[in-house]
Structure 1
Amino acid sequence: MRMFLLLTLSFLVVMVGFSASIPTDTVVIGMNTGIFISFDPAVCYEVEPSIMVMNIYSDLFKLQEINGTIQAIPELAESYDISQDGKTWTFHIRKGVSFANGDPLNADAVVYSVKRVLQLKKSPVWLFESLGLNSDNMNETVKKIDDYTVQIRMDKSYAPNIVMSIFAESWGGIVDPKVAQSHDVSGDMGSTYLADHSAGAGPYVLKSWQRNSMIVLVANEKYWRGAPKIKTIIIRDMPESTDQQLSLKRGDIDIAWNLTPEQVNSLKGNSDFNVISVPAQSNEYLAVNAGWGPFKDVRVRQAVKYAIDYDSIIQNIVGGYAIKVEGFIPYGYLGYVSSMPFEQNIAKAKQLLADAGYANGFEVELVTNTTERRRNEAIAIQADLAKIGIKANITIMQASQMYTKMREQGIQMIVAGWGIDFPDPDALAKPFADYKVKQLAWRMMWYDDHAADLAEAAGFELDQSKRIEMYNDLTNYWFENGPFAILYQPLNYWGTRSELKGFDQTAKGYSLAFDLTKMYK
């Protein structure tokens, strides 16, 4: 009855425009929810829905920011064993855990959930397939040993952090098989139902989703770690950042999700608000095609890197909401390299061009997408390159068109970004250095066998200290030879009401880790 009354109150408050104060056990978020497609962990892949799925379902492992590094720690897998060859993992499932509806969570549920991702073959499936698991071999590779023991055999001996990190993400959420199968429609394994319902064992339950209007999560009182302090979370659809800013100032919402740097900076110094910022799990980069014209020469690639005013881009374009990082491994990751070998040095850049035979410069097409930030970055880089005699002609494309052309190796120079799928350096080294996986390095035609072999080998190194050395060596080699200049690592930021506590801990690790149970009032 109490929960019903609370939800009724919450909906009434929404309907009257939050003229009443928000209850102390309720958090209201203003967010552009246009990216929400599904809450099914086997389907969901977009950032904002994924972090909600992380709080609706529990996984074998959980990602947390510990001592400045995002790490995977055991959750439903109370313990685990790895075979001598490094391929077979045996997970010992925590006993006494139940789904929100009271159904027991056991080995059957774990096996079902992993196989379900492999069978549905939606966007997240490639992460499990990258470990050698697929719908054809799943009956041999994913097995129940007993009621609380599961064995999964990978195709290779991947570094443990890779395996743990992949199983700790939203697609690793354990689904109640009874609920999913009872809502099966034409073999969809309950996917249609789970798009806007939940069947998990996380701290929250999806109560309702009115598309383009409101999402309501309520506390799971059966959560095995203990029910969260905040009993109701309401996400109001607010596509416009100005509406979020005004609603936050009125006290209609507790968190404004999509503010501009100018809007969030306007909250600073006001005791009614807090500004929360954390390192993003992404990086912004400039890339040149190493198989095209002048960029075939490593000296030209280095000249481009020395031409850029990185500090100016961070301060003037993203309002300071970025970390100066020049390696492909972001701050907060195993193997992060803190050195900054490049700063704007026009004289050195000109000399490198002259040594390469381009003293008079050359003309190049610089492509980016339609977002204001990317356009401004391209304009700034265009001006920097002009100082060393390179004429960069900017072409603006829709993101889908731009990335299609990039995948066809048809771009000379590009300003873009890379989002990280799981918090391990392998998720960065492969795209940026190993052309064999046909991601960024291949798209920019950097066919460097030394870099590719080192990136691949580091992914299989079981000794963590040796892995770190390998990534340090790779990063330093990549600095000198690669076709990429990392512009910065973004900061994610939010404006919150001052009465909301713990959101700084909630957001640590965003977008790969996000723990709503750490919020309170």
Structure 2
Amino acid sequence: MNQFTRNVVAALLAVPLLASSALADTPPNVLVVAQNIDDIVAIDPAQAYEFTSSEIMANVYDRLVQYEAEDTTLLVGGLAESWETDPENKTITFTLRDGVSFHSGNPVRAEDVIFSFSRVVTLAKNPAFILTQLGWTPENIGEMITADGNTITIRYAGDYSPNFVLNVLAARPASIVDRELVMENETDGDLGNAWLNQNTAGSGAFTLDAYRPSELLRFAANADYYRGAPAMDSIIVRHVAEAATQQLLLQQGDVDIARNMTPEQIASLPDEGFEVGTYKQATVHFISYNLKVPELNNPALWEASRYLIDYDGLADTLLLGQMEKHQAFWPAGFPGALEETPFSYDPERAIQILEDADVELPITVELDVFNFAPFTDVAQSIQASFAEAGINFEITPGTTAGIITKYRAREHEAIMLYWGPDFNDPHSNAKAFAYNADNSDEAYISTTTWRNAWEVPEEMNERTMAALTEADPEVRNEMYLDLQRDVQQTAPFFIMFQGTLQIGMADNVEGYVHGASSDLVFYRLVEKD
């Protein structure tokens, strides 16, 4: 970074945001982002579990395999240049790239990989379950991950597809940290946890050279990155909680990207000088019936309900810029996603289905809904359209915590919710929407099938687990497509939409990448012309 840029960056950091009208446009080799970043609790890869923290991981750390900026749907080699799978012996052997170094200058070694995975399992923080589902424990981790020179052999205990294991290893807790640097900063046996929550020890495209909670993140380009140096010398992410302030800063030229503007603010941006990026997100939105309520345990009612939602009308009006029509449990933007949308608003067809099945109507159903927009607005629209067929929803708004607690206890009747995957593998959602091996009240499991008391047909349970173990990636994706089609047609829930995000930016910004999840936000390809 040259001295002129340093001076401008210093000014950007020093001047209060509300006085920003006095600032010049952002420098050509610095990207300035306005974003609400007060969700950050931790930035140690072994502990980080928040959206903004995930974005830090994606830009500062590498993994053995990862989804990268060039194609966020394609799993590619990261620190591993190649790998060989052995499904029979449940092993994957990785060969590390030569010549890759951490930001400290220390070489990336097999020992760093073993240390990184071991510390996640040993610390047992929030995201550790993603790795421990491979059968790893503090007691056996030394046997499950071994090294010979620059090769690393990963063993797993479950009957899993190698592709599933690779997706687990592409998740944020599988980020590789610099063992020597971390252990130099260990305190009281914490494996460097306290230090890594204020600093980073990665090998990625950027270093995090400033972190002030609820104030800013500042990234500096890694000129020696093995994929090539980023075009931007620096990325500054300013904490700006108010959407209106973000819009003001963007229009004044004080920031290049505004991440949290409302759809109304996005629509009001001038045509000249600005662009709007629309990005599919990983959340799927649905309504479900609790089958512990006898009146709702009727497949004809489920089928008719799919035709009582004005998918297109809602997506084009109330939800414009916030959600798009999507009717399958795995979100678009990931391999194996079904993008067919076979259902449309057709109340006459719904009424005929109910009449043919002699469903006793009208019925009154309590519908739990989050007590904020757009959920309350969508609920009112659905209340009106379902009433046409004699299904009368009594809308019960509630806090997020209250509704989730009720849902987990199976005490709801109908509910409007959204669901997102824990990591980028279709099994993460297939288990939630297409698997329930024990429907008893005592067998709590964090899935929408169990919470809605849907006793999934045994053959569907078997197919879900078969897809988990299928070794051929293409065959596996086809299995998930078939599962999604069957859930579309037979489940007591109806997936309606997929979340979308609109981001305002200056029209000279190119190459910003925002995939379907916060793990897939990348700055490495950004340029400003």
Counterpart CA distance in 2 for 1:136 and 1:377 is: 50
Counterpart CA distance in 1 for 2:61 and 2:472 is: 31
Please report how far the alpha carbon of residue 131 of structure 1 lies from its aligned counterpart in structure 2 after TM superposition. 2.0
CA separation of 1:8/1:36 partners in 2, compared to 1, >3 Å: closer, same or farther? farther
Counterpart CA distance in 2 for 1:288 and 1:509 is: 27
5+ residue gaps, structure 2, are 438-444
CA separation of 1:214/1:472 partners in 2, compared to 1, >3 Å: closer, same or farther? closer
Provide the residue aligned with 2:180 in structure 1.
178
Equivalent pair of 1:55/1:202 in contact (CA under 8 Å): yes
Count how many residue pairs are aligned between Structure 1 and Structure 2.
515
| Partner SS for 1:512 | helix
| Partner SS for 1:285 | strand
Please report how far the alpha carbon of residue 279 of structure 1 lies from its aligned counterpart in structure 2 after TM superposition. 1.5
Please report how far the alpha carbon of residue 65 of structure 1 lies from its aligned counterpart in structure 2 after TM superposition. 6.9
Counterpart CA distance in 2 for 1:499 and 1:465 is: 39
Match of 1:484 among 484, 493, 508: 493
1:129 aligns with 2:139: no
> Structure 2 counterpart of 1:364, which letter?
V
CA separation of 1:430/1:61 partners in 2, compared to 1, >3 Å: closer, same or farther? same
Counterpart CA distance in 2 for 1:202 and 1:469 is: 33
Identity, % of aligned pairs? 30
1:507 aligns with 2:514: yes
Provide the residue aligned with 1:494 in structure 2.
503
Deviations 1:186-209 (A, max 9, x none): 322111111121111011111112
CA separation of 1:216/1:368 partners in 2, compared to 1, >3 Å: closer, same or farther? same
> Structure 2 counterpart of 1:387, which letter?
E
Provide the residue aligned with 1:28 in structure 2.
32
Counterpart CA distance in 1 for 2:56 and 2:384 is: 41
Counterpart CA distance in 2 for 1:66 and 1:342 is: 34
Provide the residue aligned with 1:456 in structure 2.
465
Provide the residue aligned with 1:10 in structure 2.
9
| Partner SS for 1:372 | coil
Provide the residue aligned with 2:288 in structure 1.
287
Equivalent pair of 2:278/2:321 in contact (CA under 8 Å): no
Aligned pairs (5 A) from 1:287-326: 287-326=288-327
1:340 aligns with 2:324: no
1:111 aligns with 2:122: no
Counterpart CA distance in 1 for 2:12 and 2:303 is: 58
Counterpart CA distance in 2 for 1:352 and 1:359 is: 12
Deviations 1:314-340 (A, max 9, x none): 112211543322111222333333332
Equivalent pair of 2:134/2:157 in contact (CA under 8 Å): yes
| Partner SS for 2:208 | strand
Counterpart CA distance in 2 for 1:466 and 1:223 is: 35
> Structure 1 counterpart of 2:386, which letter?
L
Equivalent pair of 1:70/1:423 in contact (CA under 8 Å): no
Equivalent pair of 2:104/2:181 in contact (CA under 8 Å): no
| Partner SS for 2:411 | coil
CA separation of 1:192/1:135 partners in 2, compared to 1, >3 Å: closer, same or farther? same
Deviations 1:266-314 (A, max 9, x none): 226x120111112212211111112322221111111221111111221
Please report how far the alpha carbon of residue 8 of structure 1 lies from its aligned counterpart in structure 2 after TM superposition. 4.8
Provide the residue aligned with 2:441 in structure 1.
none
> Structure 1 counterpart of 2:480, which letter?
Y
Please report how far the alpha carbon of residue 4 of structure 1 lies from its aligned counterpart in structure 2 after TM superposition. 7.4
Provide the residue aligned with 1:194 in structure 2.
196
Cα RMSD over matched residues? Answer: 2.0
Provide the residue aligned with 2:332 in structure 1.
331
Counterpart CA distance in 2 for 1:249 and 1:236 is: 16
CA separation of 1:258/1:84 partners in 2, compared to 1, >3 Å: closer, same or farther? closer
| Partner SS for 1:52 | helix
Counterpart CA distance in 2 for 1:216 and 1:208 is: 5
Which range is displaced more, 102-111 or 343-352? 343-352
Provide the residue aligned with 2:236 in structure 1.
234
CA separation of 1:381/1:419 partners in 2, compared to 1, >3 Å: closer, same or farther? same
Which range is displaced more, 483-492 or 466-475? 466-475
CA separation of 1:519/1:432 partners in 2, compared to 1, >3 Å: closer, same or farther? same
Deviations 1:207-234 (A, max 9, x none): 1122222211111233222321111111
Counterpart CA distance in 2 for 1:508 and 1:210 is: 26
> Structure 1 counterpart of 2:186, which letter?
D
Aligned pairs (5 A) from 1:378-457: 378-436=379-437, 438-448=446-456, 449-457=458-466
Counterpart CA distance in 1 for 2:202 and 2:328 is: 38
Which range is displaced more, 316-325 or 279-288? 316-325
Counterpart CA distance in 1 for 2:167 and 2:52 is: 18
Please report how far the alpha carbon of residue 175 of structure 1 lies from its aligned counterpart in structure 2 after TM superposition. 0.6
> Structure 2 counterpart of 1:44, which letter?
A
| Partner SS for 2:147 | strand
Please report how far the alpha carbon of residue 450 of structure 1 lies from its aligned counterpart in structure 2 after TM superposition. 2.4
Which range is displaced more, 299-308 or 458-467? 458-467
The two structures have a TM-score, normalised by structure 2, of: 0.93
| Partner SS for 1:207 | strand
